[in-house]
Structure 1
Amino acid sequence: MQAEEHADRPLPDVRALDALVGGSPAGVAVFDEDLRYVYVNPALERLNGVPAAAHLGRTIAEVLPDVDVRLDVLRRVLADGRPRELTTSGQTWVDSAVKRRYWRGACHRLQEGGRVSGLMVIAQEITATQNEREELLRARSYLTLLDNAAVSIGTTLDVRTTCQELADFVVPLMADVAVVEMIPRDVGHTRREPPAGVLRLRRAGVATVPELADAIAQFGGPGADIDYQDDAAVPRCLAADGPVVENLYGDERLSRAAPSPERVEAYRAIGLHSAVAVPLTARGRPLGVLSLLRAGDSPPFTEGLDVVVARTLAGRAAVDIDHAYRYTHEHRIAGELQRSLLSEPRGPNPGIEIASLYLPAGAGALVGGDWFDAIPLQGGRHLKVMGDVMGHGVEAAVAMSNYRSMLRIMAEDDQPPHRILERLDKAVEQSGLDRAATCLVAVVDRREGVCEVASAGHPPPVLIDPGASRARVAPLVAGPPLGTGFGGYRTTVVPCGPGTVLFMYTDGLVERRGEDIDVSIERLTRLTLPAGGRLEDLLDEVVDRFADTAEDDIAVLVSRSRGY
């Protein structure tokens, strides 16, 4: 039939070709000038899964509709006679577990008697080689991913933020959906217990590709409690402390991976077909699970590179999460201790007004070692203390508690301020406390209208007199910080009559990078008592003027005597 339609066109001598390439292990096809098959050898029959007779007179698209071929390349070879190579991919009629196969072909124009007679294509399957190449490219991208993980996950000491960073990091490069769920650590309140045989985790991070965002949102976001049946992938992952890979083809496998039977239909509806769950474990203790899911056209997870990379990322993130847990625990303990030491001091007697302020340097900063106290003395006098233990965290808060306890004991002996500091310095040295502290001790005598002050490396107090246009800085000679063992403290007596405000503070109020401390302290002389004379209003002014530029914790204690 072909010969009748194209009698003026020479056709390749297929008998001679068959003798030449019929036994070749490479697939060989010969096409006429309309790119219709006129010959295929036995090797190509096996590659295509189609008998030779079913090829003849038909185009590639008619025989192999699921194979992508660059027809423009074939036509250029026919036109100019220059041989070319091309790569095609797709699926033939041969059963294959590989989702996409690849072939490499060499194209040559055929001529007889000086006239073009057709085109010959010699093809070999390169699926394994192509898959290896893609696996190598994926491995390289995963190595880049792991390199970037250190700067993208664990940027804060907040557990939920770290979990969300982990989920965001793996989508879309590794998964279409990523979910991080934690074993709950509820502190200070009760939580609803799950039914028997159910594992309840708390969702802490979710990330999805945009097209799945609405569908995944129905399953619960961060903060939601998720219940898993015993045979689901997540509980099995935690029980084995190892990865669990689930290719979700079929309801049985889908139901094993889903948290509950009701979720199976929802998973099927959005096309989820592959999942891997890896444990988040740190210091031998399980913290939670990272679950990765793929849907639609994404390839299924494998036991090889996918799991190795997922487990490596989960291991790194688990360390960051553990650090965040430990930080939160330490911060809570230190915060509770510091709050107890920074509670509003009770007035030593009805004739004394007291107000206080504490501002941490930042929401994420560890608590500091600031403290203050007010202690009544004999004869209507009262002692005020402002201290600052060096450093932050639990150790600083514990040291602060020790300093305060020792000072209260020594205040009972009714000694002048410099004697109190000398005894405290020796007691600290003998106690083994390894944290130095600055301290300001002031004893106000309302009857005499004076204030005795001594400093152990602490900034001097400021006194705000009634009706004065400027405050005054007490002219102290500061001794060394407590805990150094050097001693050498001096008491200075300054006027402090009824109505005068004694303003004591830590260095966080005044110290600024690049500025001389004397200049910073001098700025406090502009403080005046606001109209109405309330000490709380004075503290509000301090916040307005100094809080935004503070680089360290601020503690302020203000007091005023009403007369004797």
Structure 2
Amino acid sequence: MDRGTESGTPPGPVAGRIPLAVVVVDRAGLVSHWSRGARRLFGTAREAAVGRPAVDLLPVSGALPEDDESAHYGAYAAYDGLGPDLESSLDGRLSYPAAGRARLTARGSDRIDVLWWAYPLVGPGPERLLVLAADAGVLRHEDPGERVAAERVVPGERIVPGFALHTDFPGSEELARRLPDILPSMSVGDSARIVAQILELGYPILEFSQNDRVPVTPDWGVPRRAERKARQERLAAAAAAGELPPRDARDDRDARDDRDAQDAADDGVDLEYVAVRERLEFLNEVSGRIGTSLDLSRTIVEVSRAVVPRFTDVAGTYLREQVVAGEGFPDGVPDTTTMWHRVALEHTDEPGRWDDVVPVGEAMPFPADTPFFQCMTTGDPVLVPRISEQLGHMIAAQFEKRDIRPLITGRSMLVVPLKARHVVLGFMILLRHPERVEFNDMDRVTGAELAARAGLVLDNARMYTYQESVAETLQDSMLPHIAPRMSGCDIATRYLPGTLLGRVGGDWFDSVKLPGSRTALVVGDVMGHGLNSAAMMGQLRTAVQTMAALDLPPAQLLRNLDDLAQRLGEHYLATCLYAIYDPIASELQIANAGHIPPVLVRAEGGRSDLLDLPTGAPIGVGGVPFESVRVRVAPGDRLVMCTDGLVEVRGEDIGVGLATLCESAAHPAASMDDACDTIIRALAVTFSEAGRGGRKDDVALLLARLNGIEPEDVAQWRIGHDPQEVGRARAVVREQLHVWGLTSLADITESLVSELVTNAVRHSHSRPIDLRLVRGETLLCEVDDDDHTLPTLLSAGPLDEAGRGMRVVSRLAREWGTSRTNSGKTVWFELAMR
């Protein structure tokens, strides 16, 4: 600055503007922030600077020579105890503020005269050093058209960097407001902490003399065109009054004003371009951080965290009830009864400050006079520059017994809608701290664009969640709920949805009660995935249930199922394994349609083997015969049936999975459920260790422990066609129940047996009638004859002599049923054991 005027009057301190480079160094001495000013000053791009050692990027080759008049540091030569070399101040030992001046060689330019200030930073963050640097060359120009600071400096004047507390100059308040702007983008808490330390250590200044100090501020502002217009109006008024200065002086001044105006216009365009570019970069960054998953909950958290703290200090996300529930697209415009669920809340305040007052998961409507209702009904962002006490009170009135006014009053608020296909799915409430700059119109546009992208991502996640819910409902409705105990066997099942191709598939399992205390065990797999495969699976499973009730042999059932698949006209293939377990005969009868073979674990010795079965062709091929195989089993043996998703992974030999299945199935387990879990874990570990990335297909697993029925628990008699045989049947049944200790069931069992045997004697032809009692979890009674006509429930009138027998059976029995056999039919009933 000038030493004074011609009269010798000393000038006062003048605040100048110098472009600053901002560098932040972390604990390891690596650059964590490199501003655009640093790139311009040192010639290194941000991508090449961040993460590198600071001493490599700021290589001060040495201080200016002592005989150079402009290199004299005055009192500040001793202020940096490590010397004026910037490199020595970055070796991690700096514990106090240091300032200096040095020459360095920058990329793409000659040696640069650099002024620098270094602040040690303390606190929980990773930042450990803040370095501000400026080009001293801009202060030595003698062109009278330069800026104020350059105009007031004459050649030979000493310029040294230093520090000044905020009490040292009158412009401290304005500088305090500007200081956070030069910090890198970080949370409010971190920036406030660093600013507080800088205020305590002293502002960066330049000393032009021993008495005058000039604070340095970033050059954010640019001359406005309005100032030039005002000057032109003043000149016009002066011309009218005859008070214009000499023309030469006026021409020089006008030329300088023209240059200043052009520079201002260029700077304004440049700043506007930079601001737009920064916001586009922010939006692109946010877009890259959200939508990484189709999981609705995860997407909600991603959207909330993407804007805090860079764009806002508090972000609360609300969604409509139907969206949260994964239901269909919400209908109609929201009203005051619409329930909005608070699904996420991110903030930079101290932990727990918001959690108790506005907890995540709460649902509430919003009154019509609130900015939130205006946003959700119009679908447009709502900007509130500052929440007044009146508005804060109105908003707080919705929260019973909770006062949120201290959290919101005085803050700037922006409410943006989350829309998709012109329907409001929810909205975000964005709040900034009172000390932070208010939301403006550009923020409104940015917030609207942000909400549009977030709304699209949320809608994709919502649609996926909805479709997944539909698929799960369909899948669950088609998978049976199998009783853990059937006659002579215990059963455990597992269904695992695919982890890559969606939750719905064509795998299924089933069990069907058959006459003679037998049980049908089924596992099948429709090839492919999706709703079509699941629908096809449902049709095949229903067909198996129906044909199993007809007591068809396994090979014949698969033959009929293949014919049905051909008639359905769908181009689907399915594999199926169908087994009938007879606990009295201790026998399995199995047929296979292109399925992987089952594993039989022997109770004696614990050996497990894949059953050698004819493979057969998949269901749907057509014209291929199937063959049944009989396998003798013993009480305690276990049968394991599963789909190929459990043992097969792309790129791995299926033999590895089958071997692991056999090995894991032989492990002893405390229960059937534990045995299923052991098998699944063993297969998962095998494929994970093989580096195959785990299971991708869905899995159906059925495990049956074949307990058998002891001979002493079975009683059987042959009944003749004489009506007098009905009395004998009642007598032998009563006697057998007395032997079994079931005398309490004798009367009701006698009555029901009498009805069934009477019908059999009346309708049978030539073959004797078989009567059998089986003691197990329930008391089972079966009557078998050679008549193929199945009995039905009839409506008997008061005078009718027939039609009441089966109604009595239906009313008194726990369960009853009929089925056809090769030689006739079987009618049975069950009574609960008491």
TM-score by length of 1: 0.71
Match of 1:242 among 363, 367, 380: 380
**TM-score, normalised by the number of residues in structure 2:** 0.50
Distance 1:348 1:403, change over 3 A: farther
Contact 1:27 1:124 in 2 (8 A): no
The answer to whether residue 426 in structure 2 is matched with residue 288 in structure 1 is yes
The equivalent of 2:601 in structure 1 is 464
Contact 2:601–2:637, Cα closer than 8 Å, also in 1: yes
1:279 counterpart (382, 394, 417):
417
- Bigger mean CA deviation after superposition, 65-74 or 389-398: 65-74
Asked if 2 retains the 8 angstrom alpha-carbon contact of 1:446 and 1:497, the reply is no
Which runs of structure 2 are paired with 1:30-429 in the superposition (5 Å)? Answer: 66=174, 72=206, 88=219, 124=260, 132-185=269-322, 197=336, 200-209=339-348, 211=349, 215-217=353-355, 219-248=357-386, 250-251=388-389, 260=398, 265-267=405-407, 271-272=410-411, 274-304=412-442, 306-346=443-483, 350-361=487-498, 366-429=503-566
Larger radius of gyration: 2
Paired with 1:415 and 1:430, the residues of 2 have a C-alpha distance of 20
Give me the whole-angstrom Cα distance separating, in 2, the residues matched to 1:310 and 1:6.
Answer: 53
Structure 1 stretch displaced more, 355-364 or 254-263:
254-263
Give the Cα–Cα distance (whole angstroms) in 2 for the partners of residues 8 and 546 of structure 1: 96
Whole-angstrom CA distance in 1 between matches of 2:500 and 2:650: 20
Match of 1:51 in 2: none
Listed as ranges, the gaps of 5+ residues in structure 2 are 12-143, 155-167, 179-202, 228-255, 327-334, 688-693, 712-834
Q: Sort the Cα spacing of 1:537 and 1:183 in 2 relative to 1 into closer, same or farther, 3 A.
A: closer
CA distance in 2, matches of 1:63, 1:536: 77
Deviations 1:143-168 (A, max 9, x none): 22333334321222332321121111
Tell whether the 8 Å contact from 2:387 to 2:413 is kept in structure 1 after alignment: no
CA gap 1:87/1:328 in 2 versus in 1, 3 angstroms:
closer
CA contact 2:290–2:303 (8 Å) conserved in 1: yes
Of the three residues 537, 541, 557, the one matched with 2:702 is 557
1:476 corresponds, among 609, 613, 617, to 613
Which structure would you say has the larger RCO, counting Cα contacts within 8 Å and 6 or more residues apart? 1
- Contact conserved, 2:370 with 2:395, CA < 8 A, in 1? yes
Is the Cα–Cα contact under 8 Å of residues 344 and 356 in structure 1 kept in the other structure? no
1:382-405 Cα deviation digits (max 9, x unpaired)? 321101233445444333222210
Decide whether aligned partners of structure 1 residues 384 and 177 sit closer, same or farther in structure 2, where only a CA change above 3 A counts: same
> Aligned partners of 1:183, 1:380: CA distance in 2, in Å?
53
Greater CA drift, 125-134 or 410-419: 125-134
Write the distance in 1 (CA, Å) between the matches of 2:645 and 2:338: 48
User: Residue 460 of structure 2 aligns to a residue in which SS?
Assistant: helix
Contact 1:471-1:526 at 8 Å conserved across structures: yes
Paired with 2:272 and 2:220, the residues of 1 have a C-alpha distance of 17
CA contact (8 A) 1:330 1:394 kept: no
In 2, the alpha carbon distance for the partners of 1:356 and 1:32 equals 88
Tell me the distance in 2 between the aligned counterparts of 1:28 and 1:355: 87
After superposition, the Cα gap between the structure-2 partners of 1:375 and 1:325, relative to the gap in structure 1 and judged at 3 Å, is same
| Structure 1, 458-467 or 66-75: larger mean CA deviation | 66-75
Q: Between Structure 1 and Structure 2, how many residues are aligned?
A: 482
Q: Residue 592 of structure 2: SS of its match in structure 1?
A: strand
> Once the two structures are aligned, what percentage of the paired residues are identical?
29
Q: Is the 8 A contact 2:554 2:590 kept in 1?
A: yes
Aligned to 1:496: 633
Deviation of 1:250 (Å): 4.3
Aligned partner of 2:94 in structure 1 is none
User: What SS does structure 2 have at the residue aligned with 1:508?
Assistant: coil
User: Any stretches of 5+ residues in structure 1 without a counterpart?
Assistant: 13-23, 34-59, 79-84, 97-120, 189-195
Give the match's secondary structure for 2:596: coil
The equivalent residue for 1:101 is none
CA RMSD of aligned residues (A): 4.6
Give, in whole Å, the separation in 1 of the partners of 2:148 and 2:655: 92
